[in-house]
Amino acid sequence: MRLADLALTPKKILLGLAFLAIIIVLLIVISLKIIKPKEVIKPPAVPEQISSPVINLPPQVDSTPLRNITFNLGTPNLPHEAPVYKISGSAINQQQAGSIANTFSITTSPRITRGANGHTTLIWQNKNIKKTLTITLETGQIEYIHTAQYAKPDIGSAPLPTITEPVQAANAAQDFLKDHTLNRHDIFVENAQFIKGGEEIEYTDNLAEASSIKVNYGRKIQNTPVYYQFGNTSPISVWVDKLRTPIKISYQYSGIAKDSSRNFTLVNLEDAKTKLINGEGEIVNFTPGIDDPKNNKKLISANLTSVEFAYFDDGSTGYLQPIFVFKGEATYENVGEQDIVVYLPAIKT
């Protein structure tokens, strides 16, 4: 071998450096694999369990299982899955309650009471013009009544012509809610009831006979109706007299939020029918005579003619839950046929 062959040339130096770099990279990769911490596998998040909705019955009324059911439901379009909504609260603090009272032109200090359930109720009274406003802070329930035989209307500077169409009462009620910052984007006028005056409240189908009109508001979430206990769909009602004066209000509105991005699988219609046949579901509407505990157990048969998907605010679980609402007629012993509303929880378990 010649000495010239052992001499370092630029080419040999570059090759040596490249080889050394490869060795260093390999050593780094090997060392990282050796000292890399063991990957911790997290268990999948367990979704929050949703309690079954609580369907209440009036005091002393027993649950009535449906008997001899016939179904004439047509071909309803029911969803296969649906989200659950969390009720974010309806409570009102004392400052908010005071602001609401100001919109009713009641400037007196409220009387504060605390019930056995721990709820705080503020009561404003203006005896000169016979107005009473009651707000329960924890539930957000607002009750207002104006008992003066004649008072300046709350929605105008002078008496307006006597109401001759239900839409006039609905417009007066809507203006009243707006004026008192109580209007909400997802409520709508559902129906109007005509009420006769006198010592006892009596409903009539004839507007000319009525002394006041009760305007009932429903609520929809993503175009789906919301139901409450006892077949009720109206969390808000405004009573308007024939001169368009709002004389009474019953109001409760809860904020809501979507519980999660997941949807819950719902019971299909055939399984829902089977559940009703097997005694599940509750008759939730009651008429005089039917809600007597003795008559309550004398249901002979039921013919269900419609079903819809809805959300149910039971007032206790903190959720708007999917339910199926069946409607139809039931035959009771000694009473005859009566309209019925039946709730059935819709989430598949």
Average pLDDT score, the chain: 82
Same domain, residue pair 106 and 220: yes
Same domain, residue pair 168 and 296: no
Average pLDDT over residues 174-198: 91
Domain annotation covers residue 56: no
Tell whether the torsion through CA atoms of 168, 172, 178 and 184 is positive or negative: negative
Which of 12 and 214 is assigned the larger pLDDT? 214
- Domain of residue 171: give its range: 89-256
pLDDT at 285 over 70: yes
The closest alpha carbon to 70, from 305, 349, 318, belongs to 305
Which of 69 and 289 is assigned the larger pLDDT? 69
pLDDT at 35 over 90: no
Average pLDDT over residues 326-347: 89
> pLDDT, tens digit, for every residue of 126-184?
877 788 999 999 989 999 998 764 444 443 344 456 888 999 999 999 999 999 999 99
Listed residues 256, 276, 306: the one ending a domain: 256
What pLDDT score was predicted for residue 154?
A: 40
User: Confidence band (pLDDT; 50, 70, 90) for 291?
Assistant: low
Same domain, residue pair 338 and 232: no
Listed residues 228, 256, 284: the one ending a domain: 256
Same domain, residue pair 230 and 332: no
Domain annotation covers residue 16: no
Residue 180 CA to residue 101 CA, distance in Å, equals 9
Same domain, residue pair 115 and 212: yes
Q: Cα angle vertex 247, ends 216, 97, to 5°?
A: 85
Average pLDDT over residues 81-110: 88
Same domain, residue pair 146 and 249: yes
Domain annotation covers residue 24: no
Q: How many domains does the chain have?
A: 2
> pLDDT, tens digit, for every residue of 43-91?
544 455 677 788 887 666 667 778 899 999 999 999 999 999 988 878 8
Same domain, residue pair 148 and 234: yes
What pLDDT score was predicted for residue 111?
A: 94
Same domain, residue pair 227 and 112: yes
Domain annotation covers residue 290: yes
Which of 115 and 151 is assigned the larger pLDDT? 115
Domain annotation covers residue 46: no
What pLDDT score was predicted for residue 324?
A: 98
What pLDDT score was predicted for residue 211?
A: 87
Window from 9-13, 129-133, 199-203, 345-349 with minimum mean pLDDT: 9-13
Same domain, residue pair 73 and 96: no
pLDDT at 310 over 90: yes
Listed residues 238, 256, 274: the one ending a domain: 256
Domain annotation covers residue 189: yes
Pairing mode, if any, of strands 141-146 and 236-241?
unpaired
Residue percentage of the chain with pLDDT more than 90? 44
Q: Structure tokens of 341?
A: 């509303």
Which of 91 and 188 is assigned the larger pLDDT? 188
What pLDDT score was predicted for residue 152?
A: 41
Average pLDDT over residues 255-266: 82
